[in-house]
Amino acid sequence: MYRCEATSIAGFVQQLAVGYVANGYWFYVTGIIPDGKDPGTVDEKIIGQYGIDVSKWTRCRRKRAGSANAQYLRYGRLFVIIATRGEHQLFAAERKRLRDAREHPIHFRGYSIGCRRGRGGGKYHPSVRIQREDYRQLKAHFAQIAVHRTAEDLRHELRAIPFEPYAPVRNQLRGILRLVNRLRKAAGLELLSWDTLRLRRRPVQPFGKPGSDRGLQEMPRLCAAEPPSGRLDAVLP
């Protein structure tokens, strides 16, 4: 049975970035299942419409034939249909809404999930970072409290930042810590060490038991280059 419902924010992000984008799934559409529609029923319709529930051998044959493969992932009522390069009915059906993760990252619960080239124009690889506006808010928050909290309180709050530390996120967290230390140094206060930050990502089971969220619960949104309309007319049979 094709598993598509992520049971945590961290699992959704991991499956999308590590499971799909890292393997050449770059072209996507996003959507929201309206209230009143059963998510499980919608899952079945979309998976059936786009021939998503197939074996890895079928996917290999499609790839060799120049056809695209597609995957479907949902968290709550938010979903992504994402495909590789090639011929696929998704491209015709969703031509106006289709986006390329290399150019337009997927925005989900404060995360920005995209794809970037390696140094020197190397291969593309997934890129998971804190969305720009959310990062600005975090920096502004820590700039405001940097000299008004004890070092221990700041350590606790920095370690509680709910974003999984993918490499770009680690760089952003270091940027926040440098800001905090710069302000505390100017005020003659104790500085914080690098081990204050949580810099090791904990892999999760994307389709495991609910309740393992470490995502940003207070930011319930999934935005692409254009916000989803909330309707599924274009993707439902």
Residue 228 within a domain: no
Question: Residues 66, 20: one domain?
Answer: yes
Token pair of 164 as six digits: 């999984």
Q: Does the pTM of the predicted model rise above 0.75?
A: yes
CA atoms of 237 and 218, how far apart (whole Å): 33
Q: Which of 107-111, 167-171, 233-237 is least confident?
A: 233-237
Residue 234 within a domain: no
When pLDDT is cut at 50, 70 and 90, the band that residue 117 belongs to is: confident
Element (H, E) at 63: helix 56-64
| Four-point Cα dihedral 200, 203, 206, 210, nearest 10 | -80
Question: Residues 96, 137: one domain?
Answer: no
Half-sphere exposure of 67 (CA within 13 A, CB side): 14
Contact (CB, 8 A) for 113 and 13: yes
Question: Residues 113, 156: one domain?
Answer: no
Count of the separate structural domains present in the chain: 2
Question: Residues 31, 95: one domain?
Answer: yes
Question: Residues 47, 146: one domain?
Answer: no
Question: Residues 187, 78: one domain?
Answer: no
Contact (CB, 8 A) for 177 and 151: no
Give the pLDDT of residue 213: 52
Question: Residues 190, 218: one domain?
Answer: no
When pLDDT is cut at 50, 70 and 90, the band that residue 209 belongs to is: confident
Question: Residues 101, 35: one domain?
Answer: yes
Q: What is the pLDDT of residues 71-89, one digit of tens each?
A: 999 999 999 999 999 999 9
Closest CA to 220 of 100, 73, 136, 111: 111
Domain of residue 57, residue span: 9-128+205-223
Contact (CB, 8 A) for 15 and 3: no
